[in-house]
Amino acid sequence: QSVLTQPPSASGTPGQRVTISCSGTSSNIGINSVAWYRHLPGTAPKLLIYRDNQRPSGVPDRLSGSKSGTSASLAISGLQSEDEADYYCAAWDDSLNGVVFGGGTKLTVL
């Protein structure tokens, strides 16, 4: 049982917009910034969004992050086949004194 809650799966067709949610509490998302990572098995995870809504250089602007209260979201527009991967949200938790991850969302491009 992960501290942050994500839907286990999401899907969309090429060109569509999909949103992945991440629900937390007042000790993590409610007071600390959220990051989003993409992971393909056998590879290094990649940072997509940091500080709730900032994109590292090289991450396309069709990916965006938002946060409201104790929930955050990752939106991917103009869905492409290469977007198929597992997506994780994460935040520091002040009660646990550590980073907490969501359980991950497997994104399928139909």
Contact between 28 and another protein by CB under 8 A: the answer reads no
Query: Residue 6 in 3-state DSSP?
Result: coil
Per CB under 8 A, the list member of 29, 83, 85, 88 interacting with another protein is 88
Contact between 37 and another protein by CB under 8 A: the answer reads yes
**What is the nearest approach in angstroms of another protein to the Cβ of residue 31?**
11
Buried b (16+ CB within 10 A) or exposed e, 53-84: bebeeebeeebbbebeebbbbbebeebeeebe
Measured distance CA(100)–CA(3) in Å, rounded: 6
Could you list the residues that contact another protein (CB under 8 A)? Answer: 2, 32-33, 35, 37, 39, 43-47, 50-51, 56, 86, 88, 90, 92, 96-104
